[in-house]
Structure 1
Amino acid sequence: MPACKLFLVADEYCDGLKLQFNNLIQLRQYEGRPHFAHFNTSTYVPLGPRADFAAAFRGMELTELKRPLDRRYIVNAIYSEDTSQSRKELTRILEKDADFLKLITSSTGSNRALIRIAKVWTQRLGGDHLSSDQYAKVLAESMFTLSPVGHNPESYRIFEAIEAGSIPVIALDQAYLSHACGDPLWRYRETGSPIIFIDRWQDIPRVLRELISNPAALANRQEAVVKWYREFMKRRMRAMEDTLLS
């Protein structure tokens, strides 16, 4: 008879450490350094993009990803702000920081950012929410995608942005550092991810302005992020297959 494999999913708050059978878990979503120590026999499986996004993105039938400076938006920020203090801080900057507002305003006065912030997270989509098709198009037209810590620093948004050629920006701020999972994105950095990691959201205007000022380097970074992502996912899926077949 085939051996049973336990796969721990949706452990956003890292409560899995409390499970009596945690030493039997062989596959898991979400991880961090404490998990790496406690679940030393488990294989980490990335979230990847959501199925509805993947279907919408395929439906766009793009022959190639747009280069950063050919995109309509400099940045997008789409989230509900009640799930972390990091998101509330980012909202304040997006709405009131003079340097950021100057960055996203073109020479003709048009707004080059797509910002949709809901006060409260809900599974029911309202009028302020984007459909899967709209969301996929926004990512495909954005140079950068802001990805603040929510219930967990790892989110579908990171994978969806890279699929669309939009470079994720992640703040390793206090909300990240104090998360129960303990440095959940350590594996990204240690595999050389070109994702943009900053110390705090206040640095956003300066960092993005510096990146945009060098078009060639920005285009190279976009290519590097996509290449890293494909190799990263390939390695993780191979590890998952090896675990399932062992």
Structure 2
Amino acid sequence: MRVTHKRLCSLLLCVYTLFSLYAAYSVFFKSRTGSRVYRPASKKVTGAKEPPSLGKEDWNPWEEDERQEQGAAEQSHAFSPHAPVRLRVQIWGKAAIGLYLWQHILEGLLQPADTTAQWREGHLRAGKILFNFVTGPAVVPGYLTAETENVVLVLNGREAAKITSATQWLHYAQTLVQTHKLQFVAVVLLGSEQCNNEWIQPYLQNHGGFVKLLFLVYDSPWINERDIFQWPLGVATYRNFPVVNPDRSMLYASRPYLCNFLGTIYKNSSREALLGVLKQEGLDRLCWIASREQWQPQETNESLRSYQDALLQSDLTLSPVGVNVECYRIYEACSYGSVPVVEDLMTPGNCGNSSMHHKAPLQLLKAMGAPFVFIKNWEELPAVLEKEKTMSLQDKIQRRKKLIEWYQHFKAKMKLKFINALENSLLQHHVVG
């Protein structure tokens, strides 16, 4: 029994000695040579990104950015007083021009991609602003909760029925302002084609209202570029006109048609005069002409594809005046490098009819140096097309490149204009999300 006890004590002494030696090794040697765990800094996302799901109640559109910023702060272990201010702005897209703003100007994405979805959403960072965009039939007053105190409303005020809907949205936003759930409201408005937009004046800040900024489509004499900015009509997103990415074929291929015109022909209209000139001179055979007598609000897949083909295969796109000179066709032609031939006439109404707006119509495009062909009468068209016949393919390629580059630059300038106006106004009113 004694022997067993003595052996047990010896064994315990050996175990204790070995453990002590291992502990000393861990402290003095392993900490210097062992592996370390690194926590990589979160990658800053500068472009558009998609939310993980469509669950409106579960998903916080700012949550991921907050985690990223927190991770970056942990890496630096210090707060920099020079760090950029982050402003949060939610855009409620209740007019089709909202898709032009989001997808074409801000270059954001939407989830889901299905254009018939009841709720679509996107999220991106531009400048100092974190943008969240929501659109779709499910976005209705009273059922939409603002994710931030700063909102941009995209509205349609072109006709009476649309104005009624737009007014409901403004009343909803006004209620949120009065209950201190919103601090800042701006509006992007598809205005009247005759520039009769008096209905919105009571809501504007310069008339005692709560709307601090207005981005307004068409050549309104209200434009002052301080709190009321001119905004482009853009492409017909309501007819699913896509974001076009120029490729080599678009730039360099020979196009079989001198010009194109696809549209509705109204009696005693400029469009009727245009077709008359083309047929009289026998030039209609050189152009892609497809006319109809009745306007159709919706495109079929076939008609949209035919229209895109006409733009892609024509060197010029003829753009006669309608109710207003500015039309979707102008921007759509630019997307495909087909030079717009624009009938440069003032239309009836209150758009730019003053000495202060001598560049009207299309003063926004003209101020940006749009490389279009401007004519005052379609009788000038035969001379334009005769000149077109003599141009070499190389000259047309250079002109095509210039047009596409100009349009890309134009959209970039509009993006900067929109962001700067929001940033300046938000910081001026000390509204930081």
Q: TM-score, normalization: structure 1?
A: 0.79
Most deviating of 137-146 and 75-84: 75-84
Helix, strand or coil at the partner of 2:315: strand
Please tell me whether the aligned partners of residues 8 and 25 of structure 1 are also in contact (alpha carbons under 8 angstroms): no
Note if contact 1:53-1:133 (Cα within 8 Å) is conserved in structure 2.
no
Aligned pairs for 1:91-102 (under 5 A) are 91-95=275-279, 97-98=280-281, 101=282
Indicate the residue corresponding to 2:286 in structure 1: 112
Give the SS at the match of 1:53.
coil
Matched with 1:188 is 365
Residue among 113, 126, 137 paired with 2:309: 137
Task: State the 1:84 CA deviation.
Answer: 7.9
Find out whether 1:225 has 2:396 as its counterpart: no
In structure 2, what is the Cα distance between the partners aligned to 1:12 and 1:80?
18
Q: Distance in 1 between matches of 2:276 and 2:199?
A: 36
Q: Which amino acid aligns with 1:53?
A: F
User: Is 1:4 equivalent to 2:185 in the alignment?
Assistant: yes
2:259 is paired with a residue of what secondary structure? strand
Choose 80-89 or 156-165, whichever is displaced more.
80-89
Residues 189 and 214, structure 2, Cα contact 8 Å, conserved in 1 = yes
Shift of 1:187: 2.2
Q: In the alignment, is residue 82 of structure 1 matched against residue 266 of structure 2?
A: yes
Query: What's 2:242 paired with?
Result: 54
Checking the alignment, whether the CA contact within 8 Å between 2:344 and 2:361 is kept in structure 1 is no
Deviation of the 1:62 alpha carbon? 4.3
Task: State the partner residue of 1:198.
Answer: 375
Letter in 1 for 2:344: L
- The alignment-based identity, stated in percent, is 26
Instruction: Name 2:29's counterpart in structure 1.
Output: none
- C-alpha change, 1:125 and 1:65, in structure 2 (3 Å) is closer
In the alignment, structure 2 segments of 5+ residues that lack a partner are: 1-148, 151-183, 353-359, 427-433
Q: Does structure 1 residue 42 correspond to structure 2 residue 228?
A: yes
Report matched runs for 1:156-175 at 5 Å. 156-173=328-345
Q: Cα distance, 1:224 vs. partner?
A: 1.6
CA contact (8 A) 1:17 1:35 kept: no
Greater Cα radius of gyration, structure 1 or 2: 2
Task: Measure how far apart 1:166 and its partner are.
Answer: 0.6
Distance 1:84 1:46, change over 3 A: farther
- Corresponding letter in the other structure for 1:116: A
TM-score, length-normalised on structure 2?
0.47
Cα gap change, 1:115 to 1:172, in 2 (>3 Å): same
Hey, what does 1:151 align to over in structure 2? 323
Q: Distance in 2 between matches of 1:83 and 1:73?
A: 26
Asked if 2 retains the 8 angstrom alpha-carbon contact of 1:7 and 1:25, the reply is: no
Structure 1 match to 2:197: 16
Structure 1: 5+ residue stretches without partners: 105-110
Distance 1:7 1:83 in 2: 33
Contact 1:162/1:168 (8 A) holds in 2: yes
Q: Distance in 1 between matches of 2:304 and 2:413?
A: 28
